[in-house]
């Protein structure tokens, strides 16, 4: 797993009164970030807070990203995050934003093993490394794929019903006499 995301809530203040806009403006690309679960958060039981190494809270992961990562973080999966870009801070866009890159350290470690160690009929000969995407799908990716297949099946079913109704009602066909 390796993807980009935005940190949300960067225009708010932290509980200690610190200004997240000041904190966001101090972030630098490549800077490591800590992701901390907040299972007792009254707004979202899947909440994942984003912190700089010095302990300053930048904001949170979006609810949809937190929903996928919370179970992995709860299971102590080696999820890493780093600042990929700081946006804003200009006259036309004064508010800062922070974009981050999130990676699963476990998947990277599996991808770095020789092909023979990661097994499978699609493993490459000669000890070449397997691509990261082939190294194995985590639970979040498997769940996302399952949802996509479910949505595709639903759309296919709706299309069949639409065609059936059009045939039965004679809609869009030849004019009736």
Cβ neighbours for 113, distance < 8 A, ≥ 6 positions apart? 129, 130
Residues 92 and 144 reside in one and the same domain: no
The H or E element that residue 141 is part of is: helix 139-169
Q: CA-CA distances (angstroms) from residue 10 to 116, 122, 144?
A: 45, 44, 27
Residues 58 and 128 reside in one and the same domain: yes
pTM of this structure: 0.61
Q: For the chain, state the CA radius of gyration.
A: 23
Residues 141 and 86 reside in one and the same domain: no
pLDDT, tens digit, 9 for 90 and up, residues 55-99? 999 999 999 999 999 999 999 999 999 999 999 999 999 999 999
Q: Which two tokens stand for residue 15?
A: 């509980």
pLDDT for the residue numbered 28: 98
Q: Which two tokens stand for residue 155?
A: 């759309």
Residues 8 and 73 reside in one and the same domain: yes
Specify the CATH number for the domain of residue 46: 3.30.70.2330
Q: Domain range spanning residue 148?
A: 137-177
Residues 39 and 51 reside in one and the same domain: yes
Residue 123 φ then ψ, to 5°: -65, 145
**Domain count of the chain?**
2
Q: Which among 73, 33, 35, 36 is positioned nearest to 53, based on CA atoms?
A: 33
pLDDT, tens digit, 9 for 90 and up, residues 122-148? 433 443 333 333 233 455 555 555 555
Residues 34 and 71 reside in one and the same domain: yes
Residues 103 and 174 reside in one and the same domain: no
Residues 97 and 177 reside in one and the same domain: no
**Residue 32 near residue 81, CB atoms below 8 Å:** yes
């Amino acid at each position: 797993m390796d993807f980009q995301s935005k940190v949300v809530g960067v225009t708010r203040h932290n509980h200690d009164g610190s200004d997240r806009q000041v904190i966001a403006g101090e972030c630098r690309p490549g800077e490591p970030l800590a992701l901390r679960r907040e299972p007792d958060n009254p707004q979202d039981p899947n909440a994942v807070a984003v912190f700089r190494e010095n302990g300053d809270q930048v904001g949170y992961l979006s609810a949809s990203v937190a929903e996928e990562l919370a179970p992995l973080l709860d299971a102590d999966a080696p999820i890493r995050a780093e600042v990929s870009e700081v946006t804003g801070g200009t006259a036309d866009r004064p508010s800062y934003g922070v974009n981050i890159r999130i990676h699963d350290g476990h998947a990277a470690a599996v991808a770095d093993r020789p092909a023979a160690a990661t097994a499978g009929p699609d493993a490459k000969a000669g000890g070449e490394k397997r691509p990261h995407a082939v190294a194995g799908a985590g639970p979040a990716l498997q769940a996302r794929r399952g949802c996509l297949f479910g949505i595709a099946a639903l759309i296919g079913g709706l299309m069949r019903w639409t065609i059936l109704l059009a045939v039965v009602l004679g809609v869009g066909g030849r004019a009736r006499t």
